[in-house]
């Protein structure tokens, strides 16, 4: 996704801006640009296709003097990657703007601005914003009031920063659906879409909240909330300990990463959902053509990522109504199979470098798949570079070998893909709105679910002496049970298996005795009664049950049954919520057993060999 940097200082800022863009390179981008107001009050602008290094070279060859400026790395949504489409966009040589997000009503705005005499130089949705702001300025407003008036007319998602030749010391920024952070200096202030871009100039930051807009000058900053009231926001002093590559207050990376899930899911949703619908353009410029022709989906992945693919199979067939198959990459790459016409091949991977998944992608390209897409957490990775489309998860660096936050962000990305495919197969607006509402509420529900940590810690004591465990689920919760079993075996070395609960009677029931804890995930869905019958079969054979159940599902703790109540959630997001207690259970069991939680024996984070 796009990166934004801005600086209002009393020294030359071009090098600061370009360095900020370099620090955002990890996110992936296709073009970059910078605009600076010089001492005579003129806006100088360079835009280049490709790497920030190309822009850097242009700035070296033709320096842009000045102490107030904005810069941007673009990840194309509306219009191909090109210099004309790169940001900053400029209106009447007076206003320059950078934007991260998608403006849904850009067509109407373009029409009305064209009627007012504005000429468009790009195919972007962003250019409408800069002309809209300029049109407000021509009515006599200053930049702050013009931005404020203009954003009221925007529908969609934006983080934006704007400069005005006539107010050469000021930058105005606004956020709604895309992140922005202010960086505070002495006699200079900054802004960016990610604090990482500004670490070379400051360690003091203020994160803007949803709907906020702000003004920075070298000596001041002011923030207003969505109602226009001036507000103070918390100042953060970020020391190295606060950076994501440290454990912070947590004993292990895995625990920290479990707790990061509400935030990283917020980040993964940012700019990709509007009030009632998903913002499909955020998938990239080629997405529409690819999704339009997709008649079937083949998912390929390994390990935890394979489990997210299995959940997606329930969603894509159940919600989008098109055939979906899922297979582990190590099998897929060596098997003979039939490729259905117009099938989209989707790889899912945290690292983007897993050898089997990469080999599967390369093989698929020779076998007649219509297009390829990856759902991935590392922007510069091989899978991203070699796929037609990339839908990035925004989990941030995941250090613990056992994957946690990468998994749940993959599920979120897969739900967005499901809706995008469903739209083309009769998923109506009401149903889409219900799913989007559920996604909006997801981070808060995850926070609530994390408060179960203490009772789960207590529950984990019952597992410490056990050698085996069985995990059960039905429907889309079956892969969640599989992921729960994988987590437990990866980090506690307890042998754990997972079954679709209905399969119990076909074999695993023979294993059930007091020494075999049975873990079940039991949301209040249409399969609940079936699951209950399966669990009664366990109890009748003296098995001890550990059930994660919806408050309303009618389970209660008693002899041989331990129940933890999980918040009530909509069916569509239940797999994401029920993942959390299983992650916590494995974590606490591993800590009790004294294993190396973050680097379990024999396992690697990124498996780049076959
Ligand atoms: C390794 C890791 C797992 C991961 C799997 C797939 O086995 O230990 O946590 O799920 O690789 O990795 P990927 O990066 O492709 O998601």
> Residue 244 Cα, ligand 1 centroid: separation in angstroms?
20
Q: Is 128 in the pocket of ligand 1 (CB under 6 A)?
A: no
- Do residues 7 and 91 both lie within one domain? yes
- Do residues 471 and 506 both lie within one domain? yes
Q: Is 351 in the pocket of ligand 1 (CB under 6 A)?
A: yes
CB-count exposure of residue 453 (10 Å: 0-12, 13-18, 19+): middle
- Do residues 46 and 112 both lie within one domain? yes
Active site residue 605: yes
The residue out of 237, 268, 298 marking a domain boundary is 237
Q: What are 456-477's pLDDT values in tens digits?
A: 999 999 998 999 999 999 999 9
Q: What are 108-143's pLDDT values in tens digits?
A: 999 999 999 999 999 999 999 999 999 999 999 999
Q: What are 342-366's pLDDT values in tens digits?
A: 999 999 999 898 889 999 999 999 9
Query: Considering the chain, what percentage of its residues have pLDDT values greater than 70?
Result: 98
Res. 2: pLDDT tops 90: no
Q: How confident is the model at residue 337 (pLDDT cuts 50, 70, 90)?
A: confident
Q: Please state the rounded mean pLDDT for residues 493-498.
A: 96
Q: Please state the rounded mean pLDDT for residues 406-428.
A: 97
- Do residues 311 and 399 both lie within one domain? yes
Residue of the CA atom closest to atom 8 of ligand 1: 605
- Do residues 68 and 122 both lie within one domain? yes
- Residue of 605, 609, 610 to test ligand 1 pocket, by largest number of atoms within 8 Å of CB: 605
The bridge status of strand 517-522 relative to strand 544-550 is parallel
- Do residues 115 and 192 both lie within one domain? yes
Res. 555: pLDDT tops 90: no
Q: Is 122 in the pocket of ligand 1 (CB under 6 A)?
A: no
Helix or strand or coil: residue 295? Answer: coil
Residue of the CA atom closest to atom 3 of ligand 1: 303
* Among 520, 506, 503, 507, CA closest to 469: 520
CA distance 313 to 9: 52
The residue out of 211, 237, 263 marking a domain boundary is 237
> Residue 154 Cα, ligand 1 centroid: separation in angstroms?
40
Catalytic residue among 2, 302, 324, 376: 2
Q: What is the pLDDT of residue 604?
A: 76
Q: Is 53 in the pocket of ligand 1 (CB under 6 A)?
A: no
CA distance 338 to 585: 40
Q: Is 349 in the pocket of ligand 1 (CB under 6 A)?
A: yes
- Do residues 231 and 257 both lie within one domain? no
Q: What is the pLDDT of residue 114?
A: 97
| 242 in any annotated domain | no
The CATH number of residue 185's host domain is 3.60.20.10
| 314 in any annotated domain | yes
Q: Is 393 in the pocket of ligand 1 (CB under 6 A)?
A: no
For 205, the enclosing helix (H) or strand (E) is strand 204-207
- Do residues 406 and 488 both lie within one domain? no
Q: What is the DSSP string of 140-154?
A: T--HHHHHHHHHTT-
Q: Long-range pairs for 141-148 at CB < 8 Å and ≥24 separation?
A: 142/167, 143/95, 143/167, 143/170, 143/172, 144/170, 144/172, 144/213, 144/215, 147/172, 147/174, 147/213, 148/174, 148/213, 148/224, 148/228
| Alpha-carbon dihedral angle through residues 549, 555, 556, 562, given to the nearest 10 degrees | -50
| 439 in any annotated domain | no
Q: Is 149 in the pocket of ligand 1 (CB under 6 A)?
A: no
Q: What is the pLDDT of residue 469?
A: 96
CA atoms within 13 A on the CB side of 122: 26
Q: Which residues contact 534 (CB under 8 A, 6 or more apart)?
A: 472, 474, 501, 502, 504, 505
CA distance 47 to 56: 10
Q: Which residues contact 347 (CB under 8 A, 6 or more apart)?
A: 299, 300, 301, 329, 357, 358, 360, 361, 372, 373, 374, 375, 376, 383, 387
- Do residues 101 and 34 both lie within one domain? yes
Res. 610: pLDDT tops 60: no
Q: Which residues contact 410 (CB under 8 A, 6 or more apart)?
A: 305, 308, 348, 350, 375, 393
Q: What is the DSSP string of 220-260?
A: -EEEE-TTS-EE----EE--GGGSTTS-TT-SSHHHHHHHT
| 455 in any annotated domain | yes
Residue of the CA atom closest to atom 7 of ligand 1: 303
Atom of ligand 1 lying closest to residue 401 CA? 8
Q: Which residues contact 47 (CB under 8 A, 6 or more apart)?
A: 31, 32, 33, 55, 83, 86, 87, 88
- Do residues 396 and 464 both lie within one domain? no
CA distance 139 to 142: 9
Active site residue 376: no
Q: Which domain holds residue 70?
A: 3-237
Q: What is the pLDDT of residue 492?
A: 96
> Residue 45 Cα, ligand 1 centroid: separation in angstroms?
43
Q: Is 403 in the pocket of ligand 1 (CB under 6 A)?
A: yes
- Number of structural domains (the chain) is 3
> Residue 281 Cα, ligand 1 centroid: separation in angstroms?
29
| 609 in any annotated domain | no
| 115 in any annotated domain | yes
| Alpha-carbon dihedral angle through residues 28, 150, 164, 140, given to the nearest 10 degrees | 170
The CATH number of residue 330's host domain is 3.40.50.10490
| 436 in any annotated domain | no
Catalytic residue among 247, 466, 593, 605: 605
| 106, 150 Cβ separation under 8 angstroms | no
pTM of the model as a whole: 0.78
Q: What are 256-266's pLDDT values in tens digits?
A: 999 999 999 99
Q: What is the pLDDT of residue 241?
A: 40
Q: What are 20-58's pLDDT values in tens digits?
A: 998 887 666 789 999 999 999 999 999 999 989 999 999
The residue out of 198, 217, 237 marking a domain boundary is 237
Q: What is the pLDDT of residue 252?
A: 94
- Do residues 266 and 227 both lie within one domain? no
| 435 in any annotated domain | no
In the 8-state DSSP scheme, what is residue 333? T
- Do residues 30 and 169 both lie within one domain? yes
* Among 381, 329, 337, CA closest to 360: 329
Q: Is 363 in the pocket of ligand 1 (CB under 6 A)?
A: no
């Amino acid at each position: 996704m796009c990166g934004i940097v801005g600086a209002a200082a009393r020294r030359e800022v071009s090098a600061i801006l370009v360095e900020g863009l370099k620090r955002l390179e990890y996110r992936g981008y296709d073009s970059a640009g910078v605009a600076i107001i010089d001492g005579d009050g003129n806006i100088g602008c360079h835009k280049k296709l490709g790497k920030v290094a190309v822009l850097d070279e242009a700035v070296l060859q033709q320096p842009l003097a000045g102490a107030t400026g904005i810069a941007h790395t673009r990840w194309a949504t509306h219009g191909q990657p090109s210099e004309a489409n790169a940001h900053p966009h400029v209106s009447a040589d007076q206003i320059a703007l950078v934007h991260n997000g998608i403006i849904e009503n850009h067509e109407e705005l373009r029409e009305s601005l064209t009627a007012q005499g504005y000429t468009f130089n790009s195919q972007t949705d962003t250019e409408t914003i800069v002309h809209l702001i300029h049109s407000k300025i021509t009515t006599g407003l200053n930049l702050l009031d013009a931005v404020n008036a203009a954003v009221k007319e925007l529908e969609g998602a934006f983080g934006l920063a704007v400069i005005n030749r006539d107010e050469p010391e000021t930058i105005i920024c606004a956020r709604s659906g895309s992140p922005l952070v202010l960086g505070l200096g002495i006699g200079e202030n900054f802004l960016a879409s990610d604090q990482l871009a500004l670490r070379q100039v400051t360690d003091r930051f203020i994160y803007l909240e949803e709907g906020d807009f702000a003004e920075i000058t070298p000596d001041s900053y002011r923030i207003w909330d969505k109602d226009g009231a001036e507000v103070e926001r918390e100042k953060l002093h970020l020391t190295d300990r606060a950076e994501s590559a440290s454990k912070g207050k947590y004993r292990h990376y895995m625990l920290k990463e479990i707790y990061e899930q509400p935030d990283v899911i917020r980040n993964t949703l940012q700019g990709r959902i509007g009030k009632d619908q998903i913002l499909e353009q955020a998938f990239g410029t080629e997405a529409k053509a690819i999704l339009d022709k997709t008649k079937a989906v083949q998912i390929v992945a390994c390990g935890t990522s394979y489990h997210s693919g299995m959940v997606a199979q329930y969603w894509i067939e159940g919600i989008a109504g098109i055939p979906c198959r899922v297979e582990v990459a190590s099998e897929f790459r060596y098997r003979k199979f039939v490729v259905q016409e117009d099938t989209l091949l989707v790889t899912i991977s945290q690292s983007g470098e897993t050898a089997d998944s990469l080999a599967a992608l390369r093989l698929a390209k020779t076998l007649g798949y219509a297009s390829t897409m990856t759902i991935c957490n590392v922007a510069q990775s091989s899978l991203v570079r070699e796929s037609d489309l990339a839908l990035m998860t925004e989990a941030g660096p995941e250090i613990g070998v056992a994957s946690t936050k990468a998994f749940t962000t993959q599920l979120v990305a897969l739900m967005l893909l499901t809706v995008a495919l469903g739209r083309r197969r009769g998923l109506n607006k009401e149903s889409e709105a219900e799913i989007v509402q559920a996604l909006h509420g997801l981070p808060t529900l995850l926070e609530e679910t994390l408060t179960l940590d203490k009772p789960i810690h207590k529950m984990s004591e019952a597992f410490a002496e056990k050698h085996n465990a069985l995990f059960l689920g039905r429907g889309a919760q079956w892969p969640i049970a599989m992921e729960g079993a994988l987590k437990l075996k990866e980090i506690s070395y307890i042998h754990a298996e997972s079954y679709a609960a209905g399969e119990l009677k076909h074999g695993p029931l023979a294993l059930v005795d007091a020494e075999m804890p049975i873990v079940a995930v039991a949301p209040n869905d249409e399969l609940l009664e079936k699951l209950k019958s399966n669990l009664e079969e366990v109890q009748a054979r003296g098995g001890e049950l550990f059930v994660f159940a919806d408050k309303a599902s009618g389970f209660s703790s008693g002899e041989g049954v331990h129940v933890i109540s999980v918040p009530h959630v909509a069916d569509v997001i239940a797999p994401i919520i029920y993942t959390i207690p299983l992650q916590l259970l494995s974590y606490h069991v591993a800590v009790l057993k004294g294993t190396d939680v973050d680097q379990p024996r024999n396992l690697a984070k990124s498996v780049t060999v076959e």
